[in-house]
Amino acid sequence: MTCCGPGYASPEEAIRAPREKLLYTIAIYTGTGIQKPDYLATVDADPESPTYSQVIHRLEMPGIGDELHHMGWNACSSCHDDASMSRKYLLLPGVRSNNIHVVDTATDPRAPRLHKVIDGAEIKAKTNLSGPHTVHCLGSEIIISFLGDAMGEAPGGYLHLNKDFEIVGRWENSMGDIPFGYDFWYQPRHNVMVSSEWAAPNTFMPGFDLEEVGHLKYGRRLHFWDFEKRVPVESMYLGEDGLIPLEVKFHHNPDSMHGFCGAALSTNVIHFWKSDAGRWEWEKIIDVENEPHPQWPIPVPGVMSAILVSMDDRYLYLNNWLHGDMRQYDITDPHDPKLTGQVWMGGLLGKAPEVNGVKVAGGPQMFQLSLDGRRLYVTTSLFSTWDNQFYPEIRTQGGVMVMIDCDVENGGMQINEDFIVDFGREPNGPSRCHETRYPGGDCTSDIWL
């Protein structure tokens, strides 16, 4: 069946798509002391281009202090059969400002332009939400998780936008007794959505305080939703194995009932699945040990702030932001992952202070995988106040983007020596790079109905 809507008919078709030639990455000045707007940087990812591995365009936001963080498309493979839709707009929420910037990437992909700003004050007034995070499209609709209410207290909820970026209202019919929000992913064929937990904006925005984990101000649960009814129906308490469960991903295969969550502070991967008896189960499948550090009173946790599943569902990638390593696991058997690759870049353990001649401030944090699974683009900034707390030198050195070559046949990872983007050398001074997207879609957003 040939469709003319956005995205791909299946994950298998996405893997065969043309190689990405442009990357869009968020670059922030929030928290650096430089009074300039955050911006969307366009990076040339075409090895045949004379400007390969360089920032070739910068789209500044209208205001200062947004703290751009995560972003997402207006349309994905969920509307592949809708010829009236196109993957034209990238939504860039500001976690601090609450503004959602709608960016036109289709008119000139090398030089995106601002299409519209959804005013953060209007969102607060109409929906009592603040702290936007994850953006997902579902057909022509857009759902965005928010971490707090208008006053910055948990649990927040979900903003519902229509295809013209007008506020419909709150997406969920109830938050039940969910204490915190963060990331979410859904499998429409199974009528399920899974959401995870960080903390209230008022808790995490000033910086990280370990005591607040003990005071239960950070999450340790996963929540399963009836997707059609838009209500949570079951919660899993992960306890000490699931301290601050952040990114949650299902298999890309829309028929699969398997998913994964990375618990940042306990540095574990949680595998969840629906059993033959129809019950949701969970288990810890990866446990990264804390490491001693001469300047720390306690062993340093890895801080697994992100995970990603390859489009063929064979590999899971994770980061250890404080340790400084990226890992690749073969998850052919999701109950029994095998470590197949590991590389070092930055981090507190001192294993790779420099990459390709550039000193790395920070550690591997956000990452995006090419659709064919062969290239992993990694950036180093987590959140401005947390960056400044754990990696104070990032204020003056800025962030970096590194590319890792991934062996999809045998497993394995290797840092590409020809690619590095040093955001410490930006025209307005050092900035920090966070999440990355491609014009043709990517491994962390497309959902199949």
10-63 pLDDT per residue, tens? 999 999 999 999 999 999 999 999 999 999 999 999 999 999 999 999 999 999
Residue 2 pLDDT greater than 60, yes or no: no
Q: What one-character DSSP code corresponds to residue 66?
A: -
> Which pLDDT does position 3 carry in this prediction?
64
Question: Do 337 and 327 meet the contact criterion of CB atoms below 8 Å apart?
Answer: no
Distance CA 40, CA 52 (A): 17
The C-alpha atoms of residue 45 and residue 57 are separated, in whole angstroms, by 13
Of 378, 371, 361, 370, nearest to 415 by C-alpha is 378
Compute the distance between CA of residue 106 and CA of residue 285 in angstroms, rounded to an integer: 41
In degrees to the nearest 10, what's the CA dihedral of 46, 52, 54, 55? -30
Amino acid of residue 152: G
End-to-end CA distance of the chain: 15
218 and 274 in contact (C-beta within 8 Å)? no
Residues 66 and 101: their CA atoms lie apart, in Å, by 10
Number of C-beta neighbours around residue 151 at 10 A? 11
| 300 secondary structure, DSSP code | B
Please tell me whether residue 11 adopts helix, strand or coil conformation.
helix
pTM of the model: 0.98
What confidence score (pLDDT) does residue 167 get? 98
Return the closest-CA partner of residue 261 out of 220, 289, 300, 293: 220
Element (H, E) at 121: helix 120-127
Q: What's the pLDDT tens digit per position in 364-401?
A: 999 999 999 999 999 999 999 999 999 999 999 999 99
Sign of the CA dihedral with 409 first, then 415, 416, and 417 last: negative
Longest dimension (CA), the chain: 60
Average pLDDT value for residue range 179-206:
97
- Other C-beta atoms lying within 10 Å of the C-beta of residue 76: 24
Mean pLDDT of the chain: 97
In 89-140 the beta strands, taken as DSSP E runs, fall at 89-93, 100-104, 113-118, 130-138
Cis peptide before 93 (omega within 30 of 0): no
Q: What are phi and psi of 25, to 5 degrees?
A: -130, 145
- Give the mean model confidence (pLDDT) for residues 91-96: 98
Length of the chain measured in residues:
449
CATH class of 11-437: mainly beta
pLDDT score of 4: 81
User: 244: which DSSP letter?
Assistant: S
Whether 1 has a pLDDT exceeding 50, the answer reads no
pLDDT of 441 = 83
Query: In 10 A of CB 357, how many CB atoms?
Result: 8
SS3 content of the chain, % helix, strand, coil (to 5): 10, 40, 50
